[in-house]
């Protein structure tokens, strides 16, 4: 069995069978990019932590600026991959409209998925995700007990392994304030490229193809909640993805998901260093020494390293080495994609492209330095700790209100929830937990802090 690009690339949209708009100057995949950009969930990323929570400096990355930069890298990688695939496979046609596919099509699909890749991340970065998991792991000692214990193991896993990726898939495909099916109504190809984790909760029993890869990256985390499992399966079947289990919903990745993941890895590895430098946590010489090996790996580079070393402004020097390093890593990842292309198309490959580049050890070195100098920065640790208490406190508050929904206090708190998150007495316990968790997960850092303070008496709201 082999994946077929004439199925993998389709402009068919979730929630509608209508074909492309002839009156629109954009193609369908450019429209995907714009639908993400103009969504409220994307705008909220401007106030969500990348590495450094709630930065006062305008120059430090938020999830929004990170996502835009990932999309830029992904677009470049996508053009390289698209050119290669079309040269290798011959003419490829859109599975929905039969239009001829170009390298720009690949670039737009990857750009859209990159724009959306962090759209489901909760406040306070990865520590925010961990806060949800820790809260539900401790369910016997908090207000989630009566609801959580009624769930089967697979549904419990949605909360024990609470994931920004799964929440992102939910935002893109379901639970839209409009109430219409299909969420943002993105194309199947973009939604599948977004999905680097292709299994749900519960234990996975892989079939022969699933076991063909020594260690599958795609089942490391939950990629969709049980509320969206039918949507995920529908998309996977429409695109002809290969099943990795006969007993669970678990499919191979879309080949372009590897490219999206690589763009994200390249961006955060390199850009985190630049943020650390701007905050004075790592010196100019340290950053240059970490990035210089990548710049030495660029073939036929018209700009010599000596020219970069002559730059006097520290931030400009770091920026120049950053740009060269990203360029080098793009081409290294492209070569890994080409080398493993046949196994990607048969489902036998399931690793990160950046794990197989020639300079993988240099990336590990950067990761070690970041752990030592950036992630352990006392202000980062303090704010992450505070964020953990904010999320735990809000979960406790809303679930306590639900438990007391017959009382005026409980009813009033629940009625503060937006309509499509509002829970009702006697509602399915799974949906109650999911709606409240999703509402809190979609908050910005500042809004979560402000609401926690207001509802717990740490800050009294002003009535003007």
Question: Residue 88's domain is classified under what CATH number?
Answer: 1.10.3210.10
Give how many domains the chain has, as a whole number: 1
Phi, psi of 93 (to 5 degrees): -120, 145
Is 59 within a domain? Answer: yes
Query: Cα(29)–Cα(306) distance, rounded to whole angstroms?
Result: 41
In terms of DSSP H, where are the helices of 45-139?
63-89, 103-116, 125-137
Query: Cα(200)–Cα(205) distance, rounded to whole angstroms?
Result: 12
Task: Identify the helix (H) or strand (E) that includes residue 330.
Answer: helix 314-339
Task: Look up the domain containing 13 and give its range.
Answer: 5-121+164-255
Long-range contact pairs involving 359-368 (C-beta distance under 8 Å, separation at least 24): 359/293, 359/294, 359/297, 359/328, 359/329, 359/332, 362/290, 362/293, 362/294, 363/269, 365/290, 366/269, 366/270, 366/273, 366/290, 367/269
Is 290 within a domain? Answer: no
Query: Cα(281)–Cα(183) distance, rounded to whole angstroms?
Result: 41
Show the tokens assigned to 216: 């599958």
Dihedral class, residue 216 (left if φ above 0, else alpha if ψ from -120 to 50, else beta): beta
Is 357 within a domain? Answer: no
pLDDT in tens, the chain (464 residues): 899 999 999 999 998 877 665 556 788 999 999 999 999 999 999 988 766 555 555 567 788 999 999 999 999 999 999 999 999 999 999 999 999 999 999 999 999 999 999 999 999 888 889 999 999 999 999 999 999 999 999 999 999 999 999 999 999 999 777 777 888 999 999 999 999 999 999 999 999 999 999 889 999 999 999 999 999 999 999 999 999 999 999 999 999 999 999 999 999 999 889 888 888 888 999 999 999 999 887 777 777 788 888 899 999 999 999 999 999 999 999 999 999 999 999 999 999 999 999 999 999 999 999 888 876 666 666 767 778 889 999 999 999 999 999 999 999 999 999 998 999 999 999 999 999 999 999 999 999 999 999 998 776 666 65
Select from 216, 292, 262, 263 the least CA-distant residue to 354: 262
208: CB partners within 8 A, 6+ apart: none
pTM of the complete model:
0.94
Is 14 within a domain? Answer: yes
Q: Is 141 exposed, middle or buried (0-12, 13-18, 19+ CB in 10 A)?
A: exposed
Is 98 within a domain? Answer: yes
Query: Cα(286)–Cα(292) distance, rounded to whole angstroms?
Result: 10
CB 45 within 8 A of CB 67: yes
Is 302 within a domain? Answer: no
- Taking the CA atoms of 125, 130, 133 and 139 in sequence, report the sign of the dihedral they define: negative
Is 441 within a domain? Answer: no
- Enumerate the β-bridge partners of residue 250: 199
Distances (CA, A) of 283 to 267, 288, 334, 344: 20, 9, 31, 40
Is 428 within a domain? Answer: no
């Amino acid at each position: 069995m082999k994946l077929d690009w004439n199925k993998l690339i389709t402009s068919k949209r979730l929630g509608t069978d209508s074909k492309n708009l002839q009156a629109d100057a954009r193609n369908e995949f450019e429209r995907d990019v714009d639908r993400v950009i103009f969504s409220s969930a994307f705008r909220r990323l401007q106030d969500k932590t990348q590495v450094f929570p709630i930065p006062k400096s305008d120059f430090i990355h938020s999830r929004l600026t990170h996502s835009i930069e990932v999309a830029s890298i992904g677009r470049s990688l996508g053009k390289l991959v698209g050119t290669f695939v079309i040269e290798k496979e011959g003419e490829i046609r859109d599975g929905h409209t039969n239009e001829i596919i170009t390298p720009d099509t690949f670039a737009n699909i990857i750009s859209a998925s990159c724009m959306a890749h962090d759209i489901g991340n909760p406040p306070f970065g990865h520590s925010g995700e961990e806060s949800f998991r820790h809260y539900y792991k401790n369910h016997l000692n908090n207000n989630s007990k009566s609801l959580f214990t009624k769930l089967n193991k697979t549904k419990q896993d949605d909360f024990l392994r609470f994931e920004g990726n799964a929440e992102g898939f939910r935002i893109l495909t379901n639970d839209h304030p409009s109430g219409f099916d299909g969420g943002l109504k993105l194309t199947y190809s973009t939604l599948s490229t977004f999905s680097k984790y292709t299994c749900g909760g519960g234990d996975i029993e892989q079939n022969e193809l699933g076991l063909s890869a020594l260690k599958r990256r795609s089942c490391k985390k939950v990629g969709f909640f049980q509320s969206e499992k039918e949507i995920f399966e529908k998309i996977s079947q429409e695109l002809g993805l290969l099943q990795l289990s006969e007993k669970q919903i678990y499919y191979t990745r879309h080949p372009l998901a590897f490219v999206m993941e690589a763009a994200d890895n390249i961006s955060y590895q390199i850009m985190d260093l630049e943020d650390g430098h701007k905050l004075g946590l790592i010196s100019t010489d340290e950053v240059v020494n970490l990035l210089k090996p990548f710049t030495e790996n660029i073939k036929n580079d018209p700009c010599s390293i000596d020219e970069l070393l002559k730059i006097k402004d520290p931030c400009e020097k770091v920026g120049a080495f950053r740009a060269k390093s990203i360029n080098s890593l793009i081409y290294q990842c492209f070569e890994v994609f080409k080398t493993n292309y046949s196994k990607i198309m048969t489902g036998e490959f399931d690793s990160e492209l950046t794990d197989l580049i020639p300079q993988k050890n240099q990336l590990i070195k950067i990761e070690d330095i970041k752990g030592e100098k950036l992630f352990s920065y006392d202000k980062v640790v303090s704010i992450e700790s505070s964020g953990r208490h904010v999320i735990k406190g809000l979960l406790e508050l809303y679930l306590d209100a639900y438990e007391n929904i017959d009382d005026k206090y409980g009813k009033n708190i629940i009625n503060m929830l937006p309509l499509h998150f509002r829970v009702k007495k006697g509602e399915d316990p799974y949906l109650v937990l999911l709606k409240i968790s999703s509402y809190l997960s979609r908050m910005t850092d500042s809004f979560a802090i402000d609401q926690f303070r207001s509802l717990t008496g740490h800050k009294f709201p002003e009535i003007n």
